[in-house]
Amino acid sequence: MAQGSNFVDYVKICCRSGHGGAGSAHLHRDKHTAKGGPDGGDGGRGGHIILKGNSQLWTLLHLKYRKHIIAEQGGPGLAALQHGKNGEDEILEVPLGTIARNAETGEILFDITEDGEIKILTAGGRGGLGNWHFKSPTQQTPRFAQPGEPGKEEWMILELKILADVGLVGFPNAGKSTLLSVVSAAKPEIADYPFTTIVPNLGIVSYRDNKSFVMADIPGIIEGASEGKGLGYRFLRHIERNSVLLFMVPSDTNRTIAEEYQILLHELTAYNPELLDKPRLLAITKSDLLDEELQNEMEKELPKDIKHIFISSVAQKGISQLKDLVWQAINS
């Protein structure tokens, strides 16, 4: 199976939490007591549907074919003030960076960012109160109890935004996958034509003294991605979670490097202006094709407000200096 088909970053699921159990309206009776008082226990609560963060998961694939998630009902209250059994919770493990939203309103409910973090997605109904709660001086033997609260049924959307230290930003064929394959053990599909990467690839990049950082190769942005052209929106959301953005522009671009950088910047800004607050670096790729004179000429036209470096993944040119720049940016 291709790696692309294993990566799922969006699922829509129907969540049905458990109904709360009914309270008991029991009156105490035994061989010594003919007319005892109320002793009906409370009903158990219905099962919740819960999300739990798991740092070993990278995709929502395991939820893709589970359209209906159903939690257990709460048990009814019993005699002798016995509490009904709580319905069993349905716990869904999700990768870190998963956002939960209500499918009907679009409202973001929460996101999961830590391993072991637990959040209730759809709460179960509360159990009803038993009749002993309703005893009063004027009503010594209430013969009624509360019904349990119904559970909820609602459609939810789970979206994954990849958590990485560095996001690679560039048009298709800018050399992002090649860089990732050179600096990490990731094996993205690489070919010399646009749109090879159709899912984000993650790689762990080793750095000096046993340090490391996570780099995400995000599929190429095309002009108009912020307006939803192509697969644009789905990919742009992964950039929101990266702490440093590494812009990649090939030296053989048809435009000037400054023009291409500005177009990429415009797409990100149109999608989410807050992305401009992130540290940015510029790598001019495929620079093994340049001689020193040509590189010096290009230097003069580069944008002044961003640190830049000329690299070639194939020729291993500038790669260790790039790692240094990235590490400084992550930790600044």
**Binding-site sequence positions:** 170-177, 195-199, 217-220, 285-288, 312-314
| Residue that the structure tokens 């159903």 belong to | 70
- Give me the amino acid identity at 273: P
Give the residue ranges of the annotated binding site for Mg(2+): 177, 197
1 CB-contact burial (10 Å; exposed 0-12 / middle 13-18 / buried 19+): exposed
Angle at 136 between CA 128 and CA 28, to 5 degrees: 65
Q: Tell me which H or E stretch contains 249.
A: strand 244-250
44 CB-contact burial (10 Å; exposed 0-12 / middle 13-18 / buried 19+): buried
Q: In 61-124, at which residue ranges do the beta strands (DSSP E only) sit?
A: 68-70, 90-94, 98-102, 108-112, 118-122
The residues with which 16 forms a beta bridge, in sequence order, are: 70, 153
Residue 80: CB atoms within 10 Å: 11
Check if the beta carbon of residue 60 is closer than 8 Å to that of residue 8: yes
- CA 181 – CA 313 distance, rounded (Å): 9
φ/ψ of 317, rounded to 5, equals -85, 125
Check if the beta carbon of residue 242 is closer than 8 Å to that of residue 278: yes
Give the residue ranges of the annotated binding site for GTP: 170-177, 195-199, 217-220, 285-288, 312-314
Tokens of 52: 């739990």
